Amino acid sequence: MVLAGVVLGPAGEPVPLARVFVASGPVPVPDIAALTDAEGRFAMSLPAAGTYEVAYAAEGYASASTTVEVAGERELQLELRLTRDRPAP
């Protein structure tokens, strides 16, 4: 099954070159990460049904993750939002 989606910034702007990867899943997963394209889009395969934690990160933004439940769908669509990094105190 394919997990596809887009990574957006706080104003809804696409975030290119964001890193998207599976941080945890129901089965062993390849330890590789996708980079989003110029429109912030990505698509990656998930090997089995179950609960996944999908993490995403990009320079200038706070890293984030979301939980995805996968049943038998052939493709899932996600919209992932990043917030701006807070400047160091």
Residues found near another protein in the complex (CB under 8 A): 1-2, 17, 19-35, 37, 42-45, 47, 50-51, 53, 55, 57-59, 63, 74-75
The owner of tokens 């993750």 is: 65
Smallest separation, CB 50 to another protein (Å):
6
Distance CA 34, CA 45 (A): 10
When the beta carbons of 8 and 76 are compared against another protein, the nearer one is 76
Smallest separation, CB 78 to another protein (Å):
15
- Round to the nearest angstrom and report the end-to-end CA distance of the chain: 43
Cβ(6)–Cβ(79) under 8 Å? yes
